[in-house]
Amino acid sequence: MAKQMTPLPDAKSVRVNPSAEELKELAAKMPNARETRYGNLNVQTEVLARSKASTFLVLDDPDGSSQQAFSREEGERIAKLQDEYIAGRDMIVVDGYIGDDPEFRTAARLYIEESNANIAGMQKQLYFDVDDPDSFEPELTVIYTPNLKVEGYPNDRVISVDLDKGVTRVCNSDYFGESKKGGLRMWNKLVYDRGGLPLHAGCKVIPTDDGDKVGLIVGLSGTGKTTTTFTKQNGSLPVQDDFVAMMPGGKVYATEAGCFAKTFALSEEDEPTIHGAVTRPEAYLENVSQDDDGNVDFFDTSYTQNGRATFSFSTIEAADARELQSAHFLLILNRNENIIPAVAKLNAEQAAAYFMLGETQGTSAGGAEEAGKFLRVPGTNPFWPDDHDHQGNRFLELMGDHHLDVYVMNTGRVGGADDVEGSEKVRIKHSSAIVKGIAEGTIEWTEDPDFGYQVAVAVPGIEGSDAAVLRPKDLYESLGRMDEYKKIVDTLKRERVEYLQKFPALSDAIVDAVR
């Protein structure tokens, strides 16, 4: 049942659903916007990543939640502050859908200050278009005031998430990700309530001799989710970059009409599709290094490593999510540096366990508090707005309903950091060969004696010394570092069990899978 539409607070003026061209004209007037040599806009923001410490659910009993939350009374106080501020501001309304299937789409609205029109322009690229504006009633609304400070919160910044009302209020952040995630965070709850599971995942279709194979790629921002989704195997096509809904029977639904891509180290050679898309005039750049002549440098991180870009899927060759039936395989990305193999095949209980573990090395996308640190984020979904036990149990439930081959895929290194002699980097070409091998069923497997999952004996396209990334134990043994290897094994097993035991409602079968 749709939520009752939330009335927008009155403003000095309101532009309702301006065109993409009008939004770009407004964004070009921003003092922190510059035009690149490609003719698109590059905006330098003050806030460089999502603000986890400033994000709160609005709950009747905030102390009873495992998530960061505050009272409904405090939520109403912040709403009043924001409404009073908006009364004197020029605002923009952008309407659209999260999802494009008429049977499974959610009407969404962004209401934002005109002075930050780039965010409106970027969000318009990610929403699916409204086909009947006269009957449009948003189920989810993001009310966004980038220039309103709220004292008493980290950096005078607060994101108030009221799931019951379907409203997220963002104050004092000019980072586009708060608009994008504002809608998707609320959408997460809707999907779960409908019997499915929202996945922080890309989706792609890979042609094979046995027919098209649909793959889902789960991973934290910066782990290679977008790269893996867009890298081509057999002429594969991307479907979705960031979030999908997986429903009973394995049916997959898309969320966005565009992509919010990380641009750090983006090269035309390694990622031609993404590079081509973000260097078009209609794309928006955010915090990408640029010189006075309009030349951009995706490798310069002197301002931030979390440079970003939005572009519409209409500017690239992509598959239509409405034509998808069910997924065939799922990859859980884990950017690591020690004994995680380039790929490991999991049984159902292991799959649910590694999904819940959500292990990876944090990147700048999560802010300074996550960059470079070893993280465990259940479902690799930092936008899940409920107790995390529900994610793991629902995942195992869906696995029982529809067979899905699940793999852990390391997109980092094996054997240590890049300054460790003998360590090996898992390169894009290796990951691409693995994805191709999974889709075609050409990988040879053997059981790993330490973890019980399957590791690759051979992967077509990964040969010679490159094969060291497939079997970490063999690499450590060849380097005379087996004592170190065994210590890491013991530590991982102990820590994984301890971590999963923090979720009291989690199925015992999931916890036992990592013992």
The last residue of a domain, from among 194, 214, 230: 194
Q: Judge whether 130 and 122 are in contact, CB under 8 Å.
A: no
Flag whether 43 is in a domain. no
CA 349 to chain centre: 24
The per-residue pLDDT for 1 is 38
- Based on C-alpha coordinates, what's the Rg of the chain? 23
Residues 245 and 124 in one domain: no
- 3-class DSSP assignment, residue 415: coil
Residues 378 and 390 in one domain: yes
Residue of 102, 70, 107, 76 lying closest to 187 (CA atoms):
107
Residue of 496, 224, 195 lying closest to 374 (CA atoms):
496
Which residue in this structure is represented by tokens 């200050």? 113
pLDDT tens-digit profile, the chain (515 residues): 345 567 899 999 999 999 999 999 999 999 999 999 999 999 999 999 999 999 999 999 999 998 999 999 999 999 999 999 999 999 999 999 999 999 899 999 999 999 999 999 999 999 999 999 999 999 999 999 999 999 999 999 999 999 999 999 999 999 999 999 999 999 999 999 999 999 999 999 999 999 999 999 999 988 899 999 999 999 999 999 999 999 999 999 999 999 999 999 999 999 999 999 999 999 999 999 999 999 999 999 999 999 999 999 999 999 998 898 899 999 999 999 999 999 999 999 999 999 999 998 755 455 555 556 789 999 999 999 999 999 999 999 999 999 899 999 999 999 999 999 999 999 999 999 999 999 999 999 999 999 999 999 999 999 999 999 999 999 999 999 999 999 999 999 999 999 999 999 999 999 999 99
The per-residue pLDDT for 2 is 47
Strand intervals (E) in 284-410 = 284-286, 289-290, 296-297, 308-312, 329-333, 344-346, 359-361, 374-376, 405-409
Strand intervals (E) in 4-116 = 13-16, 33-35, 41-43, 55-59, 69-71, 90-101, 104-113
Residues 159 and 293 in one domain: no
Other CB atoms within 10 A of residue 33 CB: 18
* Token pair belonging to 175: 């980072």
* Token pair belonging to 92: 């923009």
- Strands of the 329-333 sheet, one edge to the other: 237-240, 201-206, 213-218, 329-333, 405-409, 344-346, 454-458, 444-447
Residues 69 and 186 in one domain: yes
The pTM score is 0.93
The number of domains in the chain is 3
Residues 103 and 168 in one domain: yes
Which residue in this structure is represented by tokens 């009073």? 84
* Token pair belonging to 391: 């994610």
Residue of 116, 118, 114, 111 lying closest to 144 (CA atoms):
111
Flag whether 290 is in a domain. yes
Upper half-sphere CA count for residue 23 (Cβ side, 13 Å): 25
Domain CATH for 443: 3.90.228.20
The last residue of a domain, from among 194, 224, 239: 194
Q: Residue 134 is which amino acid?
A: D
Q: Judge whether 191 and 230 are in contact, CB under 8 Å.
A: no
> How many helices (H) and strands (E) in the chain?
12, 30
The per-residue pLDDT for 5 is 65
The per-residue pLDDT for 361 is 78
Residues 85 and 58 in one domain: yes
Flag whether 7 is in a domain. no
Strand intervals (E) in 249-356 = 252-254, 258-262, 284-286, 289-290, 296-297, 308-312, 329-333, 344-346
Residue of 318, 194, 185 lying closest to 249 (CA atoms):
194
Q: Residue 119 is which amino acid?
A: I
The per-residue pLDDT for 6 is 73
Residues 245 and 353 in one domain: yes
Which residue in this structure is represented by tokens 């220039």? 147
Q: Judge whether 118 and 41 are in contact, CB under 8 Å.
A: yes
Flag whether 212 is in a domain. yes
Residues 145 and 205 in one domain: no
Residues 148 and 267 in one domain: no
Residue range of the domain that includes 95: 13-30+53-194
The per-residue pLDDT for 372 is 61
The CA-based angle 208-268-468, given to 5 degrees, is: 60
The last residue of a domain, from among 268, 295, 315: 315
Strand intervals (E) in 17-139 = 33-35, 41-43, 55-59, 69-71, 90-101, 104-113
Q: Judge whether 119 and 303 are in contact, CB under 8 Å.
A: no
Residues 363 and 388 in one domain: yes
Domain CATH for 295: 2.170.8.10
